[in-house]
Chains A and B, each alone.
Chain A
C-alpha cells in the first residue's frame, strides 16, 4: 500500500509540475488478477493506478510508441529493457523519468533473478522478492532424447497462427521492417506450416539474443498459448556462460552480440569442443 501511495504521489508531482506529459503505469484489468497498462495524463487520474500482483506487462515498449516526455513505473524487467533501448539508440534516457519499484508480481514472474529496477530516477523500495532461477528447466529438457526435444518444439510452433503479437509486444523487436514482412527477397514463407513457423521462431529467438530480458511478454501476448520461452532462456544461459553478459543490467557493458573477444569460444567449428 505504501509503495502504491508513493507511486501516486510521485506521479502526481511530476504531472503537476509539468516535468512529464504522461505517466505510464498500471490500472486494474477487466479480468480478475490482471492489470492493464495505464497512461495518466491528468494528475487526478493517478488514483486509478495500481501496484500489485498482476502488474507484469513490460512497459518499456510503450516508450517507443510516444514522443512525449514520459515517466514510467518500472520494475526489474522494464528497466533492463530501457537500458537496452538506450544502448541501442532507440530511446533518449533524458526523455524518460524512471519511477522504479520492486516487482509486485508473484505468479507469472518466478523465473526472474532481477525483480528490482537496475536503474531509476526515484526508487521506491518495497518488499524485494528473492527468486533463484538456476535454469534447471533447461537441464531437464536437454536430457530428453533429441527426437523428443525436436517434436516438442514442432508441436509448440505448430499452434502459431503468425499474428506476430509476440514480436509486436517485445521491447527488443522494434525493427521498422521485420524480416517476416520483407518481400524482396521474401526470407520466409507466409504459411503457418511447421517449417515456416520454425524459421520465424528460431530467427526471432536469435535476433533478440543478448537483448531479451525474459520479461515473458511474448508468451503473455500469444492468443494461441505458444510458449517458446525455453528458446530464449537457452540463449540467455549461453550468453551468460560463453560471453559473461546478462542482458540489460547496466548502461556501460556493450551488447554481447555487438562485441567480441579475441579468445571467444569456437566450439561451434568443425572439430571444435562441444558446448555445455
Chain B
C-alpha cells in the first residue's frame, strides 16, 4: 500500500526541521510530499481539503507558538486549525487523516518521528475515497 501524504511545512521552522532530518540522516518514510509555505498562517484549510482529493493524508506543521517568524502567524492559524480539525471529525473523517504539529528548525529528530507516525497512522486507516471521488 503506497499511501500519499501531503505535508505543508512552514519555511522557517518545520521545513528547516525536515531539512535537518535529512542532513542528519534520520530515516522517515518516502510517502511524504512536502509543500513549503511561508508560514503556517498561509495554510488556508482549502489547501488541506484540496490535498485530500489527491492524497490519503495531510500533515501541517509550523513553528512553536512564540517562535513564528511573523510573530503571530501560527497563533492566528491555530484557531483555523482547531475549527478545521473539529469540522473534519464532525463529518466523519478519521482522526489520523489530517494531523497538525509544531516542529522547530532544531527538531530534525522530531520531524522524522512525526512523519513516520503520520504515515503509519494513515496506513492503518481504511482506504480513503478522496471525498467521494467522481459522482
Binding site for B on A (CB under 8 A): 138, 141-142, 145-151, 153-154, 158, 179, 187-189, 191-196, 198-199, 202-203, 205-206, 209, 231, 234-235, 238-239, 242-243, 256-260, 262, 264-270, 275
Evaluate contact between B92 and A148: CB separation under 8 angstroms.
Answer: yes
Q: How far is the CA of A159 from the CA of B132 in the complex (A)?
A: 13
Q: Inside 8 A of B53's CB, which chain A residues have their CB?
A: 189, 195-196, 199
Q: Chain B 31-70, CB within 8 Å of chain A: the 1/0 string? A: 0000000000000111001100100000000000100000
User: Can you pick out 22 interface pairs between chain A and chain B where the beta carbons lie within 8 Å of each other?
Assistant: A147-B92, A149-B92, A154-B131, A179-B44, A179-B46, A191-B134, A192-B135, A193-B133, A195-B134, A198-B49, A202-B45, A203-B46, A206-B83, A243-B79, A257-B79, A260-B75, A260-B76, A262-B65, A264-B79, A268-B81, A268-B100, A269-B101
Beta-carbon nearest neighbor of A205 in chain B: B87
Give 9 closest A-B pairs by Cβ, nearest first: A194-B132, A150-B92, A146-B92, A195-B131, A268-B85, A149-B92, A260-B75, A198-B131, A203-B46
Interface size on B, residues (CB 8 A): 39
**A258 touches which one: B49, B76, B102 (CB < 8 A)?**
B76
Residues in chain B within 8 A of chain A (CB atoms): 44-46, 49-50, 53, 65, 72, 75-76, 78-87, 89-94, 99-102, 114, 117-118, 130-135
Bound Cα distance from A187 to B47, whole angstroms:
8
| Interchain CA distance A264-B87 in the complex, whole Å | 17
Pairwise interchain contact A269-B102, C-beta atoms closer than 8 A: yes
Taken together as a complex, chains A and B put the C-alpha atoms of A194 and B52 apart, in Å, by 13
A262 to B133, CA, bound (A): 39
- Contact, CB under 8 Å: B92 / A238: no
Contact (Cβ within 8 A) B82 A267 = yes
Q: Taking each of A154, A270, A275, which has the highest tally of chain B beta carbons within 10 Å of its own beta carbon?
A: A270
Q: Are B85 and A264 in contact (CB under 8 A)?
A: no
A interface: dominant SS: helix
- Identity of the chain A residue whose Cβ is nearest the Cβ of B84 in the assembled complex: A206
Q: Are B90's CB and A234's CB within 8 A? A: yes
Which of B50, B82, B118, B131 is in CB contact (< 8 Å) with A268? B82
- Of the candidates B78, B90, B101, B131, the one whose C-beta lies within 8 Å of that of A142 is B90
Nearest-neighbor residue (CB-CB) of B54 within chain A: A195
Known: A268-B86, A269-B100, A270-B117. A199 touches B46 (CB 8 A): yes
Question: By the criterion CB–CB under 8 Å, are B92 and A158 in contact?
Answer: no
* A188 vs B135: C-alpha distance when bound (angstroms): 16
- Tell me which of A141, A149, A199, A270 contacts B49 (CB under 8 A): A199
Chain B nearest CB, measured from A187 CB (Å): 6
Are the CB atoms of B78 and A268 closer together than 8 Å? yes
Give the complex CA separation of A191 and B131 in angstroms. Answer: 13
Q: Nearest-CB distance from B58 to chain A (Å)? A: 12
Q: Are A275 and B82 neighbours in the complex by a CB distance under 8 Å? A: yes
Task: Give Cα A148–Cα B90 distance, bound, in whole angstroms.
Answer: 11
Q: Please, which residues of chain A bring their CB within 8 A of the CB of B89?
A: 275
